[in-house]
Structure 1
Amino acid sequence: MPEVAAPQAEVREVLGVPADEAVFDPLPHNPLNGVTAGVWRVTGGGRSAVLKVLTRTKETGVSWAASNDPRHWNFWRREAYVYGSGLARVWERHGIRAPRLLECAERPGGDVALWLEDVPGEPATSWPLARHVEHARRLGAAQGETGAGEDRPWLSRHFLRDYTAGKTTGAALLDDDEAWRHPLVRSHFPPGLREDMVRLHHDREWFLTVMESLPRAFCHLDQWPANLRSDGHGTGVLLDWAFAGDGALGEDLGNYLPDTVFDHFVPAAELHGLAKSAYDAYVHGLRESGWHGDERLVRLAVCASAVKYDWLTALMLARADEEPVGYGGTGTVAAAVRYRERGLTLAFLAEWAAEARLLAPQLGFPEAPSGR
Structure 2
Amino acid sequence: MNSTQTMRLQVDIGVLHQCVEKELSKADLIISNWRISPFSIEKKNFTTAGLYQVRGNAKSGEIDYPWSLFLKIIQPESEEKNDQAHFNYWKREALVYQSGVLNHLPPLIQTPKCYVVEEKSDSEIWLWMEEVKESNLASWSLEKLSLIAHKIGLFHGGYATGEIPLPKEEWVCQEWLASWVAGCDQYAPDASSYYPIVKGRYESIDKNWNSYLSFRQHQNHYFHILKTLPRVVSHHDLSKQNMYMNRELTVIDWQYFSVSGLGEDLGKMFGVAISNDDISIHEAWYYQERLFDEYLEGLRLMGWKGNPLLPKLGFYLSVAFRSAWEMPKLMKLLANSTINELDKVIEKYMTIVEVQMRLAEEADRIIAEL
Indicate the TM-score class for this superposition, using the shorter chain for normalisation. 0.7 to 0.9
Aligned to 1:327: none
Aligned to 2:356: 349
Q: 2:321 aligns with which of 300, 307, 314?
A: 307
Cα distance in 2 for residues equivalent to 1:25 and 1:14: 18
SS in structure 2 at match of 1:165: helix
Matches within 5 A, 1:4-153: 7-9=11-13, 10-15=15-20, 21-28=34-41, 30-31=43-44, 33=46, 35-45=47-57, 46-56=66-76, 58=77, 60=78, 65-67=80-82, 69-94=83-108, 96-108=109-121, 110-123=123-136, 126-147=139-160, 149-153=166-170
Cα distance in 2 for residues equivalent to 1:270 and 1:212: 30
Q: Quick check: 1:163 aligned with 2:163?
A: no
Aligned to 1:178: 197
Q: 1:221 to 1:31 in 2, by over 3 A?
A: closer
Aligned to 1:202: 217
Identity of aligned residues (%): 20
SS in structure 1 at match of 2:107: helix
Cα distance in 2 for residues equivalent to 1:196 and 1:298: 23
Please give the per-residue CA displacement for 1:25-65, whole angstroms capped at 9, x wherever unaligned: 232265561x2211123333332222111223x3x5x7xx5
Q: 1:321 to 1:356 in 2, by over 3 A?
A: closer
Q: 2:332 aligns with which of 298, 306, 318?
A: 318
Give the AA of the match of 1:36: T
Task: Name whichever of 309-318 and 8-17 sits farther off.
Answer: 8-17
* Structure exhibiting the larger radius of gyration computed from Cα positions: 2
Counting matched residue pairs gives 338
Give the AA of the match of 1:70: Q
Q: 1:113 to 1:291 in 2, by over 3 A?
A: same
Is residue 173–residue 318 contact of structure 1 (8 Å, CA) maintained in 2?
A: no
Aligned to 2:255: 242
Cα distance in 2 for residues equivalent to 1:203 and 1:192: 17
Is residue 219–residue 245 contact of structure 1 (8 Å, CA) maintained in 2?
A: yes
Please give the per-residue CA displacement for 1:310-355, whole angstroms capped at 9, x wherever unaligned: 23211332355889xxxxxxxxxxx933322232122111111001
Cα distance in 2 for residues equivalent to 1:258 and 1:19: 46
Give the AA of the match of 2:120: R
Aligned to 1:367: none
Q: 1:142 to 1:206 in 2, by over 3 A?
A: same
Cα distance in 1 for residues equivalent to 2:344 and 2:288: 21
Aligned to 1:290: 303
Cα distance in 1 for residues equivalent to 2:119 and 2:280: 42
Cα distance in 1 for residues equivalent to 2:155 and 2:297: 11
Task: Name whichever of 284-293 and 156-165 sits farther off.
Answer: 156-165
Please give the per-residue CA displacement for 1:258-307, whole angstroms capped at 9, x wherever unaligned: 21110122211221221111100111000100112111111111112212
Cα distance in 1 for residues equivalent to 2:106 and 2:230: 22
Compute the displacement of 1:361 (Å).
2.0
Is residue 157–residue 303 contact of structure 2 (8 Å, CA) maintained in 1?
A: yes
SS in structure 2 at match of 1:112: strand
Give the AA of the match of 2:11: P
Please give the per-residue CA displacement for 1:88-139, whole angstroms capped at 9, x wherever unaligned: 2444422x12112132222256522112222122317622111111111111
RMSD of Structure 2 on Structure 1 (CA):
3.0
Cα distance in 1 for residues equivalent to 2:308 and 2:231: 13
Instruction: Select the structure with the greater relative contact order (CA < 8 A; seq sep ≥ 6).
Output: 1
Is residue 7–residue 19 contact of structure 1 (8 Å, CA) maintained in 2?
A: no
Give the AA of the match of 2:213: V
Unaligned segments of structure 2, at least 5 residues: 21-28, 58-65
Cα distance in 2 for residues equivalent to 1:293 and 1:270: 29
Cα distance in 1 for residues equivalent to 2:308 and 2:253: 29
Q: 1:115 to 1:290 in 2, by over 3 A?
A: same
Q: 1:196 to 1:242 in 2, by over 3 A?
A: same
Aligned to 2:232: 217
Is residue 171–residue 311 contact of structure 1 (8 Å, CA) maintained in 2?
A: no
SS in structure 2 at match of 1:103: strand
Cα distance in 1 for residues equivalent to 2:17 and 2:334: 48
SS in structure 2 at match of 1:192: helix
Task: Name whichever of 81-90 and 280-289 sits farther off.
Answer: 81-90
Aligned to 2:291: 278
Cα distance in 2 for residues equivalent to 1:211 and 1:342: 26
Q: TM-score, normalised by structure 1?
A: 0.81
Cα distance in 1 for residues equivalent to 2:33 and 2:335: 44
Cα distance in 2 for residues equivalent to 1:107 and 1:265: 37
Is residue 267–residue 341 contact of structure 1 (8 Å, CA) maintained in 2?
A: no
Give the AA of the match of 1:151: K
Task: Name whichever of 278-287 and 140-149 sits farther off.
Answer: 140-149
